[in-house]
Amino acid sequence: MALHKRSWAEPFKIKMVELLKMTTPAQRQKAIKDAGYNTFLLKSEDVYIDLLTDSGTSAMSDQQWSGLMLGDEAYAGSKNFYNLERAVKKYYGYTYLIPTHQGRGAENILSQVMIKKGDIVPGNMYFTTTRLHQELAGGTFVDVIIDEAHDSENLFPFKGNVDLNKVEALIKKYGAKKIPYICVAVTVNLAGGQPVSMENLKQLRLLTNKHNIKIMLDMTRIAENAYFIQQHEKGYAKKSIAAIVKEICSYTDGATFSGKKDALVNIGGFLAVNDKHIYEEASNLVVVYEGLHTYGGLAGRDMEAMAIGIAESVQDEHMKARIGQVKYLGDKMLETGIPIVLPVGGHGIFIDAKRFLPHIKQEQFPAQVLAAELYVDSGVRTMERGIVSAGRNAKTGDHYYPKLELVRLTIPRRVYTQAHMDVIAESVEHVYENRKKIKGLKMIYEPKYLRFFQARFQKL
């Protein structure tokens, strides 16, 4: 019998390993209680498989590690800055580069330069730090993602798309002058890593050109978005990830970037723009918050590792294995009937906590408690993406009640094996079998900003 199946496998081999501590359920019970049932407050050494985030948790390549040794730690005009600038031009096409310590550093600068008090900033679903910086600059974020994105069972392949009718309605209501730019995230983190289609970007470009509104990308996971375009959008099957990435950027005016995701580094980010005037203001402001415009809070070696990581991130084989691993875990969960966000996105599996724990009300934090239970079951650390992450409306003081109440199992890049994925799926299945015994939580400490990082809870 001919064997037609060809599995994906990692386009790398392992040169060094980090040993992990194994813990007992009793130790984990105590650890999560001490952490106020917030997985962000656990000690990393008490975690077996860490799916808290894909941010800054990638394994760097030997090339990137050797890049660290080439750090030019001059205060101004480091060689590594120019290497990074070349990489950004070559792979993304943007004219001007301002490095920042990570993505939110770039969001702060962009928001302060472009947003005036009273402005409206449309975006395809909010992201925590992005929205906060827009608000701190005096703007109001308005969600313009398509409705499908809020439905965890809808199978549309481009659930990150912008709803052009929603954008047009905003322009009508407030006038284009009140809208400095539209922030387009590729992929959309809080929708479950859902991609935006090229066609949608093209249409948005036509619309915004008519009204003289800029498009700023949140291009944190642009290579993953490009992979979905290659797999699912007509006309792109034969194009490389690198070509698709560059085409995405070509429909936009600039971008903020967290190098800690796609670019395979542990720290770093940047703001990139094509407009000289915006660049000049931003490069002046970056001195106040981050550092001189040729290092922006980064060591020379960090910029070098990011330049190399950007090139590695757009390799077709890399992305095939990256998303292949995420899909492998998703398929395992589907086999056992776990309710997850579909289609499976780029950077992780998102469990629908409302469907997993239908007996727990949203104000009793179902996703938060599910993350805690998974940790106790197996030492797998995940995080809440639901009502705790959504925070409160600054004007009314009420919780935001997001439709999606999710637990995110984020897969770090090039870090875990297929056997780890099996252990994770088995643990989720075990917790699912015992789900009826799980009770909700009460919040006993709530910080003012980005509360999900530091809030503490008690069992009800």
For the annotated catalytic residues, the residue numbers are 75, 127-128, 218, 261, 385, 452
Give the start-end residues of each E strand in 5-118: 49-50, 96-100
220 binds ligand PLP (CB under 6 A): yes
Tokens of residue 261, six digits: 């995701």
> Which region, judged by CB under 6 A, interacts with ligand PLP, from 225-233, 254-262, 326-334, 380-388?
254-262
Binding status of residue 111 toward ligand PLP by CB under 6 A: no
Closest separation in Å from C-beta 119 to ligand PLP: 19
Identity at 301, one-letter amino acid code: R
Could you say whether residue 108 binds ligand PLP (CB under 6 A)?
A: no
Distance CA 44, CA 127 (A): 25
Q: Look at residues 377, 372, 380 and name the one whose alpha carbon lies nearest to residue 329.
A: 380
- Joined together, the tokens standing for residue 256 give 């903020």
b/e map 89-100, b = 16+ CB within 10 Å: eebbbbebbbbb
Q: Quick check: 218 and 195 in contact, CB under 8 A?
A: no
Residue 290 touching ligand PLP (CB under 6 A)? no
- Only one of the segments 22-30, 126-134, 365-373, 440-448 lies at the binding site for ligand PLP (rule: CB under 6 A); that segment is 126-134
Number of residues interacting with ligand PLP: please give it, by CB under 6 A: 15
Q: Which of 124, 258, 313, 325 binds ligand PLP (CB under 6 A)?
A: 258
Q: How far is the CB of 263 from ligand PLP (least distance, A)?
A: 10
For ligand PLP, give the closer residue by CB, 160 or 339. 160
Q: Which two tokens stand for residue 13?
A: 């081999």
Q: How far is the CB of 100 from ligand PLP (least distance, A)?
A: 8
Between 57 and 130, CB nearer to ligand PLP: 130
- 137 DSSP 8-state letter: T
Strands of the sheet containing 96-100, edge to edge, are: 96-100, 269-273, 254-258, 214-218, 181-185, 120-123, 140-143
Please choose, from the candidates 352, 331, 332, the residue with its C-alpha nearest in 3D space to the C-alpha of residue 341.
Answer: 352
Counting contacts by CB under 6 A, is residue 260 touching ligand PLP? yes
**224 contributes a contact to ligand PLP by CB under 6 A:** no
Interaction of residue 309 with ligand PLP, rule CB under 6 A? no
Stretch that binds ligand PLP, among 86-94, 157-165, 258-266, 430-438 (CB under 6 A): 258-266
The least CB distance from residue 288 to ligand PLP, in Å, is 18
Q: Is residue 55 within the footprint of ligand PLP (CB under 6 A)? A: yes
User: Cα(173)–Cα(120) distance, rounded to whole angstroms?
Assistant: 11
- Could you say whether residue 130 binds ligand PLP (CB under 6 A)? yes
User: How many angstroms from the chain centroid is the CA of residue 380?
Assistant: 19
Residues 160-219 that bind ligand PLP (CB under 6 A): 185, 189, 218
E strand intervals along 206-362? 214-218, 254-258, 269-273, 348-352
Interface residues toward ligand PLP, by CB under 6 A: 55, 102-104, 127, 129-130, 185, 189, 218, 220, 258, 260-261, 269
